[in-house]
Amino acid sequence: MSPALAGWLQVGLLLVALGVCWRPLGDYIARVVTSASHWRAERGLYRVMGVDPAADQQWGAYLRSMLAFSAISVLFLYGMLRLQHYLLLSLGMPDVPPALAWNTAASFTTNTNWQNYSGESTLGYLVQMSGLAVQNFLSAAVGIAVAVALVRGFIRSRTGTLGNFWVDLTRVTIRVLLPLAIIGGLVLAAGGVVDNFTSPHTISTLTGGHQAMVGGPVASQEVIKEMGNNGGGFFNANSAHPFENPSPFTNLFEIFLILVIPFALTRTFGAMVKDKRQGYALLAIMAILWLASVAGVTFFEAQHAGQAAQAAHAAMEGKEVRFGIPGSSLFAASTTVTSTGAVNSFHDSFTPFGGGIVLFNMMMGEVVPGGVGAGLYGILILAIITVFVGGLMVGRTPEYIGKKIRPAEMKYAALYILTTPAIVLFFAALSIALSGPRASILNPGPHGLTEIMYAFTSMANNNGSAFAGLTTATTWYNTTGGIAMLLGRFAPQIFALALAGSLARQQAVPASAGTMPTHRLLFVGMVIGVILIIVGLTFFPALALGPFAEGLH
C-alpha cells in the first residue's frame, strides 16, 4: 500500500469515527450542562465545598470562582512538586527545583502541559497520578465550563447570570470526562499501552549495554492527556514512546481522542441555542481548516528534497517508522489545531513549510477545532467579529444568535483577539534581544527564530508542543514561560466571560430582513477569511523571517 493511500485511509477512518460520535456526544454534553437534577455524588461534593448548586452566578462571580480554583490548583501542584521526596511512590526522585516546579504547575493548571523535564527521570508515580493527571481532568473541565457560560450568554435574556461554575466543573468532570476516560483507558491498555506500578529496573541490551526500563500508570494518564487536550507525556518522548503509543492503531485512536470532544462541542452549541444549523456552520469552519492543515503538512513532509529525504522517500528524520509520514503528519496537524501539544514525532525535524504550518495552526488561536472548550469560545468570538465586519459592509447593526453586537461586545472580542499575539511577540522579542535567552538557540538564523516563536506561541496558546531545538530548561524560560501560559489562558477567559455577561444582559431580538444568516456557506467562508487575515496581519513578519525564509533558501 502506498503511503498516500495509507494516509487517506487513516483520515477516512478518523472522519467516520468522529462522525459517528459527533451527534450523541454533543447532545449528551448539552444535556449534562442544562440538566436541573444533581447526582448524589455531586450533592456530596457541593456540601463539602459549601456550594449552593441552585445559585446562579453573575459573570464576575463566575470568573472569581474560576480564578480562585485555578490559583489553588497552581499552589497545590507546586507544593506536591517541591515536596516530592516526602510522598509515597516517589521512586527516590528528588524535589523539583523551584523554577521548574513553577513552570510545571502553571503549565498543567492552564491545560498547556509544556514540559521542561523528562517525566521518567523527574517525577514519581504519585505526582504523575495525583498531581498531573488530576489537573488534566480539571483544566479541561474549566475550559468546557467557560465555553458553556459563553453559550448561556446568547440564550439568556435580561439577566447577567451565566450558571454556576462549581456545578459546571463538577458535572463535566464526573459525567463527561471520567466515563470517557475509563472507556478510552481500557482501549489503550488493550492496545498495548502500559499501566502498572513497576519500579524502574535495569535490563541488558543485545549489544551488552545496560538501560533503565521505566513502567508506570501510563494508559490511565495517556487517555486524559489526549482527550482533555493536555499533551503532557508520561515519558520524555511523549507519544513517540512505544509505552505511550505502541502501534498505528493506538496512534489513530489517540488522534481520535484529541479531536472528539472539541468537534462534538459544536453540536452542543447548536443544541443549546436550539438551532442545529449554527452548530453545523461552526463544524464546517473547523473541519475545512483542519483538513487543509493535514493536507499541507502531509504534502510538505512527503517531499523528497535532499539526498537523505530521497533515500527515505520522504522527510523521515525525527519520525517513528511505525507511523511514517501519514501518521506523523496527521498527528502533528491535529495536535496543533487543538491545544493538545502531544507529539509522536519531533516537529523541529519537519521541513520548513511543514513546521511552518503547525506553527500557523497555533497562531490561529487553536480554534479548528481548538482546545476542549477553548476552541468553542474562541470560534464564537471570531464569529462575532465576522458578523460585525459583515454589518459594516451593509450598514446594519450586526446580530448573532439573537443578540446585537454593540461596541461593548466588540471591545471584549477585540481584547480577546489581541491578548495572545501580544504575549507571544513580547516574550519572543525579549528572548531574542537579551543575550542570556539568546544563548539557548542551538540553530542560529531563520530556524532559531522559528524555534523561539514556536515556543512562546505554544505556551501562550496553551498548546505545549515544542520544536525541541531550543534549550528551554533554564530559569528564563521556566519563569517567563509560566507567566505566558497563565496570561494566555486566563486573560482570554476573562474577556470571554465579560462578553458572556454583556450578552446575557441584553434582550433577545428576533431575526429580521437585515440579519446576516450565520448558518450558510457564505458565513462559513467569511469566518475562515477573518481567521486567516487576522493571523496573516499579526504574524506575517515573523513567519516571513522564520519558516518562509528557511523554506525558500
Tens digit of pLDDT for each residue in 8-36?
A: 899 999 999 999 999 999 999 999 999 99
What pLDDT does 314 receive? 65
With bands split at pLDDT 50, 70 and 90, how would you rate the model's confidence at 307? low
Give residues with Cβ within 8 angstroms of 128, minimum separation 6. 119, 216, 217, 221, 234
Quote the mean pLDDT of the chain.
92
Neighbours of 108 (CB within 10 A): 28
Q: What is each CA distance from 46 to 35, 57, 167, 175, in whole angstroms?
A: 16, 15, 8, 15
Assess if residue 399 is contained within a domain.
yes
pLDDT surpassing 70 at residue 312: no
Rounded-to-10 torsion of CA 167, 170, 175, 178: 170
Residue 262's closest CA among 332, 328, 184, 176?
Answer: 176
Helices and strands in the chain: count of H runs, count of E runs: 22, 4
Q: What is each CA distance from 494 to 20, 63, 412, 499, in whole angstroms?
A: 34, 7, 9, 9
Domain that holds residue 422: 374-552
Assess if residue 54 is contained within a domain.
no
Average pLDDT (418-440) is 93
Taking the C-alpha atoms of residue 115 and residue 122, their distance in angstroms, rounded to an integer, is 11
Assess if residue 493 is contained within a domain.
yes
Assess if residue 506 is contained within a domain.
yes
Number of independent structural domains in the chain: 1
pLDDT surpassing 80 at residue 308: no
Assess if residue 422 is contained within a domain.
yes
pLDDT surpassing 80 at residue 395: no
Assess if residue 247 is contained within a domain.
no
Neighbours of 377 (CB within 10 A): 31
Assess if residue 479 is contained within a domain.
yes
Assess if residue 492 is contained within a domain.
yes
pLDDT tens for 526-548 read: 999 999 999 888 998 888 888 88
DSSP lists the bridge partners of residue 201 as 213
pLDDT surpassing 60 at residue 306: no
Neighbours of 367 (CB within 10 A): 29
What pLDDT does 197 receive? 87
pLDDT surpassing 60 at residue 2: yes
For residues 356 and 546, the answer to whether their CB atoms sit within 8 Å is yes
What pLDDT does 203 receive? 79
Which residue carries 487513516 as its cell? 10
